[in-house]
Chain A
Amino acid sequence: MTRHGRCAITILSGFLGSGKTTLLRRYLAEQARGDVHVIINEYGEVGIDHHLVHMVEDQTVLLQGGCVCCGRREELVSALRDLLDQEQTGAGAIRQVVIETSGLADPVPVIFSLATDPVLRHQFAVPLVVVTLAAIDAEAQIRRYEEVRKQIITADRVIITKSDLTTQQEVARCRVAIRALNPTARMIVSPFGEAFDSLAPDERQDDGRRREIMLRGSIGQPQQHPSVQSASLALDSPLDWTGFGVWLSMLLQVHGPNVLRIKGLLDIGDAGPVAMNVAQHVVHPPEHLPGWPSTEHRSHLVFITRVIDPVRVAYSLETFQRAAGRSDLRVQRLG
C-alpha cells in the first residue's frame, strides 16, 4: 500500500528482447516478503516468461496469446480485481503489482484501463511506467519501430539495459535518442540487470521531488523524428485553474492522439502546485501538492506532441488564460 492507502502499480514495458524479464527476476529475488504480485502478458501462444519468473515468485498471473494493450484489457482488469479479492479475503497483502507487458504493447491503453475502471482506479495508485531499452542498436530500434517510440514517450523511467555489451559512446547516443523523445523520463543505465530496484515504487513522488527532477531534464536535443516535438513552457504568474481545465480538455478532445505526453507543476496561487500527468488522452487525476519542491515557484509544463507545433500550443494556452481573466499572464517557451 502507498501512503494514500492505494496499492502501488508498476507497468514494465520494453521492446522484445530488451531485458524486461531479467530485470523483473532480479527485482523479485530481492523482495523479502511475498507481497509483490506479477501479471505477465506474452504475445506468443506459448508463454515462457512466467516460467522464468515463477522460479522466484509464486504470485504470478499469465495473460497469454495477445497483446495487453489491444486484446486483453478486460482480462487485465479482472486479473487485478481477483488480486484485490484475494487480499480482502485474507490471502495476503499486496504492496505492489508489476504488470510486464508484451514487447509490442503500447502502455497507454493499459493506463487507460486502470484509470477508467470504477474499482481499480480507487484501489491502485497512478502507475509508474518503467521501460527497458537495450543499448545495443537502440537508435535503429527507435527509428524503426513505432512501438519502441510509444513506450519511451510514455515512460517515467527508461532503463538502458545491456550496456555491458556495448561501448560508452553507444550508451551516450542511446541517452540522446531517449532524451529527444521524452525530456521528462529518468534514465538509468543498467549493466547486467543491476538497476532492478528501478521497479520499486517511488516513495518520494508524493512530495513532488521526483517531478522536479523530471521537469528539469534537458530540452531541445536534436530531434530524430521531425513529427515528434517537445517543448518546455514556463508561466510567469499563477494560472487560472478553471481556464486551464477548459483549454486542456478542449485540446485533448480534438488533438488527443497527437498530444503524446504532458507533465508539469502548475502554480494556481496556492501554497503548493498542482501536478499534471497526461499520457495521450488519459489524464491522471491532478494532484494538489502541499508545497513546492524547490525555491522556484512558477508553472512549468512539458509537452511532447506529434505534428502539432508547440509554439501554437503555448500561444493558445496564453490566449485562453487571458480570456479567463489572467490578462497579465505570459507563456514562455524554455526549449
Chain B
Amino acid sequence: MCVLCGQMFSEIHWSECQLDPVQVSQGSGETSRRQERHARIRLLRKVLAQYGLEISDDWSATSYVVGNRKGDQRLAAAMGELWRVAEQMAGRALDPLDESLLERLRSLESTA
C-alpha cells in the first residue's frame, strides 16, 4: 500500500510489472511510474478513439478512467480489466489486428 495516498497495490499487471512495488510504495519510483503511465495513456488514446472512447488517469494515477461520448465513465484498475471495460462500453471487440484500426494508427503517424 502507498503510504501517501492509501492505494492498494495487490495486483500488478504483467505489462506494468517492471515497476518495483517497494519503490512505488516508498515513493522513490513514482516519477518513472507516472512517465510510463503517461506514455501508455497517449497510445491508448489513439487506439480507443477508433471505438469512440476516451481515456485518462484518475487523480492518483493508479486506475484508468474510460469514457464514451454519452458521458458514461468507468474505472479500470489494470490493463487486463481496461480491455474488458472498453469492450463493454464500445459494444464490440477491440481487435489489434483490425485493418481499419491499423490504418488509422498509420495515418496518425504520417500526420504527426
Contacts and interface: CB of A to CB of B under 8 A. Distances in A.
Contacts of A255: 95, 97
Given A250-B96, A254-B93, A323-B108, A245 B102 contact: no
B102 A285 contact: no
Interface string B33-58: 00010011001101100000000000
Contacts of A241: 18
B87 interface: yes
A286 B94 contact: no
A254 to B, nearest CB: 5
Interface residues on B, range: 20 to 34
Interface of B is mostly: helix
A328 to B, nearest CB: 11
Nearest to A248: B15
A174 to B, nearest CB: 33
B66 to A, nearest CB: 14
Interface stretch (A34-42, A181-189, A295-303, A313-321): A313-321
A249 B17 CA distance: 13
Contacts of B36: 242
B80 A253 contact: yes
A87 to B, nearest CB: 25
Contacts of A308: 97
A246 B109 contact: no
Interface string B68-106: 000000000001101110010000011111000010011
10 contacts: A242-B40, A244-B15, A245-B15, A245-B16, A245-B79, A247-B96, A255-B95, A255-B97, A316-B102, A323-B47
